[in-house]
Amino acid sequence: MAAQAGAAGRLDRWLGRLPLLRGRRPEALPVRLDHRRIYVLPTRLGLLVGGVLLAMLLGALNYNNNAGLVLAFLLIAVALNSAVMAHLGLAGLRLDALQAGPVHAGGLLSLRLSFDSGRRAREGLWLQNENGEPALLAGPAAARLDAVLALPAVRRGRQALPRLRLTTTRPLGLVRAWTWIAPDAGMLVYPALETPTPALPGASTPGQGRPRPDRSGEDTHHLRDYRLGDAPRQIAWKASARSGQLRVREYETGAAQDVQLDWKGLPELGTEARIRRLAAWVVEAERQGRRSRLVLPSGVLGPGRGAAHRHACLQALALLPTTPA
């Protein structure tokens, strides 16, 4: 059976190279699944049942056994219809959104694929990448189906999505309909963080101010609208209740908290180790609520603070070439 699987895998790869069959370049969203890219073949159970039905048909024809013919023809017709239904289970589906949570190298990229199922109620659709665990498409409403795939994020930087396979064997498990999807989307993988977390470099400008003692007054910070990714503890609940919209506190912070994270300040480390250290510092500074300024060969970020700044820094680190010029 293993040999069979290996052969199937080889055949698969070989088919993947055929330009007419499946040689699709990574494609932009939305990806619509039409009949040209849906393949239907019997499963092993289907082959077995097909064999049984064929034997029944031959026997019944030979003996002109009409009861046997009725049963055989009915079951064959149902099996054919189940193949059509498996095909229709995929046809017309549209992948229209991809969403990936932030992940550091070495972690699992959690990729949410969102499908528009059209007017058809669909069930039993499984999505998987080459070697990963399959995920069942499910949705709160019949019109929208989501699946979350956990993809290993091996190294920092832009990670191309692997080719994904969408499979169904419904309604009877006799045939498998499948299609390959290669969405043209690179997922950003942050650098891995150095562990244990190194201490932040000493205040780059010592003595220059300290955190403002008073952070409670209304005027010490301003409020802005909630943005995706804001921490719940930053939400100003009272103000939100008054305005009817989620508001988030943004603190006025003193320059005294600034940390300078300098690429050139770490000559003793190799490139990747430096990136890991800097990434860990960026995260740590953000955790402590301090402004950070990241100085990289490619440019300077900050000083700044907040999710956007953090993302910009980690992105810049992630995208650094392996051997910086």
Residue 21 touches other proteins, criterion: CB under 8 A: no
Residue 64 touches other proteins, criterion: CB under 8 A: yes
* Helices and strands (H and E) in the chain: how many: 6, 16
Residue 73 touches other proteins, criterion: CB under 8 A: yes
In the complex with other proteins, which residue's Cβ is closer, 15 or 308?
Answer: 15
User: Least distance from C-beta 201 to other proteins, angstroms?
Assistant: 47
Residue 185 touches other proteins, criterion: CB under 8 A: no
CA-to-CA separations, 295 to 103, 228, 275, 298, 317, in angstroms, rounded: 22, 27, 12, 8, 10
Residue 82 touches other proteins, criterion: CB under 8 A: yes
In the complex with other proteins, which residue's Cβ is closer, 44 or 215?
Answer: 44
CA angle 85, 168, 22 (to 5 degrees): 100
Distance (Å, whole) CA 275 – CA 266: 10
Residue 56 touches other proteins, criterion: CB under 8 A: yes
CA-nearest of 250, 258, 243 to 221 is 250
Residue 92 touches other proteins, criterion: CB under 8 A: yes
CA-to-CA separations, 308 to 151, 191, 230, in angstroms, rounded: 24, 16, 10
Residue 201 touches other proteins, criterion: CB under 8 A: no
Which x/- pattern over 96-135 shows residues binding other proteins (rule: CB under 8 A)? ----------------------xxx--xx-x-x--x-xx-
Q: Segment contacting other proteins (CB under 8 A): 45-53, 146-154, 213-221, 311-319?
A: 45-53
Locate the DSSP E strands across the chain.
Answer: 31-32, 39-42, 94-100, 108-116, 126-129, 135-136, 144-152, 157-160, 164-168, 175-181, 186-189, 221-225, 247-251, 259-262, 292-296, 299-304
Count of residues touching other proteins (by CB under 8 A): 61
Residue 148 touches other proteins, criterion: CB under 8 A: no
> Would you give the DSSP letter of residue 192?
P
Distance (Å, whole) CA 191 – CA 250: 27
CA-nearest of 33, 26, 309, 304 to 187 is 26
Residue 84 touches other proteins, criterion: CB under 8 A: yes
Residue 4 touches other proteins, criterion: CB under 8 A: yes
Q: Segment contacting other proteins (CB under 8 A): 50-58, 220-228, 246-254, 302-310?
A: 50-58
Residues in contact with other proteins by the rule CB under 8 A: 1-2, 4-5, 8-9, 44-45, 48-49, 52-53, 55-56, 59-78, 80-82, 84-85, 88, 92, 118-120, 123-124, 126, 128, 131, 133-134, 136, 138, 167, 169-174, 176
